[in-house]
């Protein structure tokens, strides 16, 4: 059974600092997704990572995938308050057409 | 149009009521999904439709009944729900996984359901 674990689950940081969220998964998969969710809102797609070594960047966020280590990272550079949200990674369960989500990381960025 | 719409936005119902949630997309996606999300938790998959056929039912109680009338519409019929069924219900759509590189799921805004 595919399990997805994120850490940390809670992250409070100051504006301008850098930090990384980690996403580990338990079985082979070739697709990993990062989503953002604001309180009471739906999920917004951030990145789709499809192959080993894939790196995607959008603004202050950068995501990478290491399929051999079964690890993805979401790196935040010079954080700003607007990035405060809950971030989920989700892994495609091969052959089953279902996403398994991590627990989510609740990120709070303080001025 | 890269949007998934859901109605209603909010729904309050009693345990004896029957209601339906609706989801629509016009992106030509042939896979559609229902998720349930409790507060401060990740979404949990309930059902998957692929080419209008139910392909995954994650052992959801029969008081939840999905329906996919056509490739653009997805309904979730609710009957005799319990208070613990109160949650945010999210619909999503994507291309089916087979033969498609990304199969990224696009999520709707959700229906916040309260069962009294």
So what's the pLDDT on residue A29? 79
- Optimal mutation site among B27, B35, B43, B95, interface A, most CBs of chain A within 10 A: B43
Kindly state the tokens that stand for B53: 């056929």
- Find the closest chain B residue to A86 by CA distance: B40
What is the mean pLDDT of the segment spanning A12-40? 92
Q: Which residues of A touch B43 (CB under 8 A)?
A: 43, 88, 101
Judge: B103–A97 Cβ closer than 8 Å, yes or no: yes
Task: Tell me what percent of the residues of chain A surpass a pLDDT of 70.
Answer: 96
Residue A96 distance to chain B (closest CA, Å): 8
Mean pLDDT by 10 residues, chain B (116 residues): 89 93 94 94 94 92 96 96 96 75 82 96
So what's the pLDDT on residue A74? 98
Per-residue pLDDT at A94 exceeds 80? no
B10-13: long-range pairs with CB below 8 Å, 24+: B10/B111, B10/B112, B10/B114, B11/B111, B11/B112, B11/B113, B11/B114, B12/B113, B12/B114, B12/B116, B13/B78, B13/B81, B13/B113, B13/B114, B13/B115, B13/B116
What is the mean pLDDT of the segment spanning A17-37? 92
So what's the pLDDT on residue A80? 93
Least confident of A55-59, A70-74, B92-96: B92-96
Task: Tell me what percent of the residues of chain A surpass a pLDDT of 90.
Answer: 77
CA A81 – CA A38 distance, rounded (Å): 12
Q: Identify the band that residue A8 occupies on the pLDDT scale cut at 50, 70 and 90.
A: very high
Q: Which residues of A touch B96 (CB under 8 A)?
A: 97
């Amino acid at each position: 059974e595919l399990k997805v674990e994120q850490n940390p689950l809670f992250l409070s940081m100051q504006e301008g600092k850098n930090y990384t969220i980690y996403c580990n998964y338990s079985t082979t998969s070739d697709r990993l997704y990062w989503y953002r969710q604001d309180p009471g809102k739906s999920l917004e797609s951030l990145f789709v990572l499809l192959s080993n070594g894939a790196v995607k960047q959008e603004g202050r966020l950068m995501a990478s995938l290491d399929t051999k280590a079964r690890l993805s990272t979401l790196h935040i550079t010079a954080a700003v308050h607007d990035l405060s949200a809950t971030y989920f990674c989700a892994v495609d369960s091969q052959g089953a057409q279902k996403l398994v989500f991590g627990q989510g990381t609740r990120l709070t960025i303080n001025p | 149009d890269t949007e998934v719409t859901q109605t209603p936005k909010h729904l309050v119902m009693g345990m004896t009521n029957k209601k339906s949630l609706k989801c629509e997309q016009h992106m030509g996606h042939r896979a559609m999904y229902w998720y349930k999300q409790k507060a401060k938790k990740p979404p949990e998959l309930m059902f998957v439709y692929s080419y209008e056929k139910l392909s995954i039912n994650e052992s959801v109680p029969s008081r939840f009944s999905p329906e996919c009338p056509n490739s653009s519409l997805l309904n979730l019929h609710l009957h005799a729900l319990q208070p613990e069924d109160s949650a945010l219900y999210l619909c999503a759509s994507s291309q089916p996984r087979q033969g498609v590189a990304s199969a990224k799921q696009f999520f709707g805004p959700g229906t916040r359901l309260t069962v009294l």
